[in-house]
């Protein structure tokens, strides 16, 4: 079935970097945009940006420009979210989510990856 499976939880120190993966299955990976959404503990949802897996083009929310990088590897149907120069307030669950074809509502979500930043 259609699903997105993300990599496991991470614990990092301030200033470190982390790379979260999102493996797609059950559909044509290059046919749908992939979005990343952040949720801090007990908080709401925050869109970070999208990547077009076909072209590699990206669109980042201004807030995240300069410290996140979205990439993909089409050979293994996997999208990646790299976070640099981590701070404690970056502690959150990071979700990948597929953009519904023809719109950018998010119809399939990964299970989420908890990234904890702590010294």
Partner 1 sequence: DIVMTQSPDSLAVSLGERATINCKSSQSVLYSSNNKNYLAWYHQKPGQPPKLLIYWASTRASGVPDRFSGSGSGTDFTLTISSLQAEDVAVYYCQQYYSTPYTFGQGTKLEIK
Is there binding between residue 1 and partner 1 (CB under 8 A)? Answer: no
C-alpha R_g of the chain: 13
Q: Is 30 helix (H, G, I), strand (E, B) or coil?
A: helix
Which of 3, 7, 46, 54 contacts partner 1 by CB under 8 A?
Answer: 46
Question: Given the complex with partner 1, which of 53 and 110 has the nearer CB atom?
Answer: 110
What whole-number distance in Å separates Cα of residue 26 and Cα of residue 102?
18
Q: Euclidean distance between the first and final Cα of the chain, in Å?
A: 40
Is there binding between residue 105 and partner 1 (CB under 8 A)? Answer: yes
Positions in the binding site for partner 1 (CB under 8 A): 35, 37, 44-47, 59, 61-63, 95, 97, 100, 103-107, 109-112
């Amino acid at each position: 079935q259609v699903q997105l499976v993300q990599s496991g939880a991470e614990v990092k120190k301030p200033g470190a970097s982390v790379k979260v993966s999102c493996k797609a299955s059950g559909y044509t990976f290059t046919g749908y945009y992939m979005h990343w959404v952040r949720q801090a503990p007990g908080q709401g949802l925050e869109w970070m940006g999208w990547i077009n897996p076909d072209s590699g083009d990206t669109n980042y929310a201004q807030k995240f420009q300069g410290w996140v990088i979205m990439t993909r590897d089409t050979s293994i149907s996997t999208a990646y979210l790299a976070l640099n120069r981590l701070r404690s307030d970056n502690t959150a669950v990071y979700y990948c989510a597929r953009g519904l074809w023809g719109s950018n509502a998010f119809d399939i979500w990964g299970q989420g990856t908890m990234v904890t930043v702590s010294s």
